[in-house]
Amino acid sequence: MRSAAALRQALLDLLTEKAFDQITVREICARAGVHNATFFRHHADKEALLNHVAQDEIDRLVAISFAHGYSHKGFLALCDYVAARRILWRALLTGGAGGAMREELMQLSMALAAEYSDYPTWLPQELSVICSTTLIVETLSWWLKQDEGEYSSEAVADIMHELVESAVIAPRRPRAGD
């Protein structure tokens, strides 16, 4: 357990210094103070380690999201959480693991959404979850690619809230001829 925690922390520390694709297993082990064999007892490769770190982060992010619903307060809590872990989330969403992260977030969101079947939306529930999760994840990805400080957590929370409110929650506007 101690070695696994040290490996995760070493990866997080290294991500503050360089991009994920520039980090080697040897560097992770050196930073964690463990032998390469110990690393490979826990993980097949550095991507597997990143996936373990990602799973913990996804669980926390989704818990924050569902604790507040699609409210401005919820989006702000989510943005504050990501901002505090900007380097990690940037690696998770905009790096090589981005596709896997999006898929994992979608699956977890679908599972949790089943508990909130009475949430008001004009869309079928499954499509509502797909659209809202995609809007949130892509907005976070966009934000993390911007220069740090260019957009505050509050500004991004406002953007997310407006996007989800207008696309997923707001009632359908009548079309011409309806």
pLDDT for residue 51: 82
> DSSP assignment of 18-85, as one string?
S-GGG--HHHHHHHHT--HHHHHHH-SSHHHHHHHHHHHHHHHHHHHHHHH-SSHHHHHHHHHHHHHT
Residue 170 DSSP one-character state:
S
pLDDT for residue 118: 63
Lowest mean pLDDT among 4-8, 70-74, 149-153: 70-74
Decide: 75 and 133 in contact? Cβ < 8 Å. Answer: no
The percentage of residues in the chain with a pLDDT greater than 70, rounded to a whole number, is: 86
The two structure tokens encoding residue 138: 């892509």
Question: How much is the mean pLDDT over the chain?
Answer: 84
The two structure tokens encoding residue 166: 């207008």
pLDDT top residue among 103 and 75: 75
Classify residue 167 as exposed, middle or buried by CB count within 10 Å of its CB (0-12, 13-18, 19+): middle
Q: How many helices (H) and strands (E) does the chain have?
A: 9, 0
CA angle 90, 94, 95 (to 5 degrees): 95
pLDDT for residue 153: 97
Mean pLDDT of 56-73: 79
Q: Do you know the residue count of the chain? A: 178
Distance of CA 122 to the CA centre of its chain: 25
Lowest mean pLDDT among 46-55, 80-89, 101-110, 143-152: 101-110
Mean pLDDT of 52-73: 80
pLDDT for residue 97: 61
Report the chain's terminal Cα–Cα distance, integer Å. 62
Model confidence at 101, pLDDT cuts 50, 70, 90, reads confident
The two structure tokens encoding residue 4: 């696994």
Range with the largest mean pLDDT of 12-16, 19-23, 148-152? 148-152
> Is residue 175's pLDDT more than 60?
no
The percentage of residues in the chain with a pLDDT greater than 90, rounded to a whole number, is: 34
Model confidence at 31, pLDDT cuts 50, 70, 90, reads very high
